[in-house]
Amino acid sequence: MGRCRSLWIAGVLLGFAGAPARSEERSLVDVFKSVNPAVVEIHTRQSDLAARQAGRPVSVMGLGSGVLVSRDGKVITAAHLVQAADSVEVEFLNGDKVAARVVSSEPEATDVATLQLERVPPAALVARFGDSDRVQVGESVFVIGAPLGVSHTLTVGHLSGRRRSDMTPGGTTRAEFFQTDAAINIGNSGGPMFNMDGEVIGIVSHILSLTGGSEGLGFAVSSNVVRRFLEEKSFWTGIDGYILWGDLAQVFNVPPRRAGLLVQRIAAGSPAERAGLRAGTTRATIGREELIVGGDIVLEVMGVPVQASGLEAVKEKLTGLRPGQTVDVVVLRGGRQVVLTAVAPAAP
């Protein structure tokens, strides 16, 4: 009798011990349902060169994720997804598809871009930002996106670490990235990372992988960095470029002790296209780098030279432009330096 009673008590205690886990699972279900409508798929189309037929342009479709962050139709996504896109379309949970345009993009430092929707669906949900400074390593997080095209997929993990990107020439950190073991694959780029309160604490940027798939090393730009990006005056050039410096700069005949931005792709209708810049025409492998060559090499913008450490000085100059102001761009084209002139557009 005593043994039976002991087993009964043990069973009750185990039942109570299991209750919090079930409650936590229920909570995740509820939180996922509450934030999922704010997550969107990003469909892009851009011109590229066929992999095996150098010089032949083809239209390439791209897929990623994003999140609606304002009532007036601002969507945050990954810059590398839309930087050179000729067209962008945003798809909501209910299947509603809306055309969008890139209004600002920072592919180099933060990998964050802002899209502006042509219209905002009536039932659209705006996501809430959390304070990423308060997030601690070890906390549970989840990611919603379209990995490998499977839309609105939930993956769960933990915040594995806080990482800083390279330092700027002035010595300040460019961005903070969260490392996570939540599964991230192609198609997750630009999607939101949430805490268990349903707040956006990061925007998925990239993975480190030996196989091309998820290996538990995913990275997201922290939400406070994204918030600062939204608040600051920014711009979009439409250039997918590559910084040439050192030995590689010499290969392309960049002037001694100078760096240049190799223009690989240019988005249709972008400021870069309107300025008359030319994209690359041929795929080439130089050392370990896969590049598209044959396009312009930007040497300086409004008297500010391209630096090996990045485009920070150029960006600072451009952000101070007034609508209608003239912009001079010096490029290396066919071995000669050419000056292109453009006009700063009105604020988006």
Model confidence pLDDT, tens digit, residues 297-323:
999 999 999 998 888 888 888 887 888
Residue 78 confidence class, pLDDT cut points 50, 70, 90 = very high
CATH class of domain segment(s) 37-117: mainly beta
CA–CA gap between residue 113 and residue 77 (Å, rounded): 5
Higher pLDDT, 197 or 288: 197
- State the catalytic residue, choosing from 80, 132, 181, 270: 80
- 111 assigned to active site: yes
One fold for 128-231 and 239-343? no
Active site residue 222: no
Q: Please identify which of the residues 48, 86, 111, 181 carries the catalytic annotation.
A: 111
Catalytic residue among 132, 189, 223, 270: 189
Strand partners for 262: 242, 297
Provide the pLDDT confidence category of residue 175 given band limits of 50, 70 and 90. Answer: confident
- CATH homologous superfamily of 239-343 equals PDZ domain (2.30.42.10)
| Spatial separation of the C-alpha atoms in residues 71 and 51, rounded to whole Å | 41
Q: What are phi and psi of 154, to 5 degrees?
A: -100, 130
Cα(205)–Cα(218) distance, integer angstroms: 8
191 token code pair: 């999607």
Q: Which of 270, 266, 268, 269 is nearest to 281 (CA)?
A: 266
Structure tokens at 74: 């601002």
Contacts of 94 (CB under 8 A, 6+ apart): 37, 121, 123
**Residue 163: strand, helix, or coil:** strand
Q: Is 81 exposed, middle or buried (0-12, 13-18, 19+ CB in 10 A)?
A: buried
Provide the token pair at 91. 């798809």
Domain extents in the chain: 37-117, 128-231, 239-343
Residue 22 has pLDDT above 60, yes or no: no
Instruction: Look at the alpha carbons of 52, 58, 64, 70 in this order and tell me if their dihedral is positive or negative.
Output: positive
CATH for 128-231 is 2.40.10.10
Told to judge if 206 belongs to the known catalytic residues of this protein, a careful annotator would answer no
Residue 302 CA to its chain's centroid (Å): 27
**DSSP one-letter code for 205:** E
For the ranges 3-12, 65-74, 311-320, the maximum mean pLDDT occurs at 65-74
User: Other C-beta atoms within 10 Å of 62: how many?
Assistant: 19
Cβ atoms within 10 Å of 57's Cβ, excluding its own:
12
**Cβ-contact 133, 224 below 8 angstroms:** yes
Mean pLDDT of 278-298: 92
Q: Indicate the range of 16-25, 72-81, 272-281 predicted with least confidence.
A: 16-25
